[in-house]
Amino acid sequence: MADLLALDHRHPTPIHAQIENGIRAAIATGRLAVGAQLPTVRQLAVELAVNANTVARVYAELERAGVLETRRGVGTFVAASQPQGGQRRGRDPELRAIVQRCLDEAAARGFTGEEVARQMKVMATKQGG
């Protein structure tokens, strides 16, 4: 799982957000398939060298969002039905915040909004979206 998540302890984004973003991205791109089992909280914490409470917090948040499901005594899995359509409505503020963070970070590194948009279009085309 650590190969799917690249954490940067020097980056201003909190570790829990980096883990959550990494799991969501892995699911969105198909690197984590529906029904795939995730490592236990302790296993992932050890792999990523982070506190187990941080991983537990991420798993709980993703479960509340319908992205993951926990089966008692079995483990945590990518949920069979991912939130979309009507469930995604009302998430525009969340997406807007993501885009704003991206633009802010790009601007801090000297990139323009047009350069970011162009790169996103290239990446979306490669991912089939």
Q: Which domain holds residue 40?
A: 15-78
pLDDT digits (tens, 9 = 90+) for 10-52: 888 899 999 999 999 888 888 999 999 999 999 999 999 999 9
Q: pLDDT (tens digit, 9 = 90+) per residue, 51-86?
A: 999 999 999 999 999 999 999 999 999 998 765 544
Dihedral angle, C-alpha 82, 85, 87, 92, nearest 10 °: 110
Q: In angstroms, rounded to a whole number, what is the distance separating the alpha carbons of residues 25 and 19?
A: 10
Q: Does a structural domain hold residue 5?
A: no
- Both 73 and 20 in one domain: the answer is yes
> Do the domain assignments include residue 53?
yes
Instruction: Let me know if residue 26 belongs to a domain.
Output: yes
Domain total of the chain: 2
CATH number of the structural domain spanning residue 49: 1.10.10.10
- Residue 28 CA from chain centroid, whole number: 8
* 117 shares a domain with 72: no
Is the four-CA dihedral 124, 115, 100, 54 of positive or negative sign? Answer: positive
The pTM of the whole model exceeds 0.75: no
Q: Which of 99, 28, 62 is nearest to 70 (CA)?
A: 62
* 22, part of any domain: yes
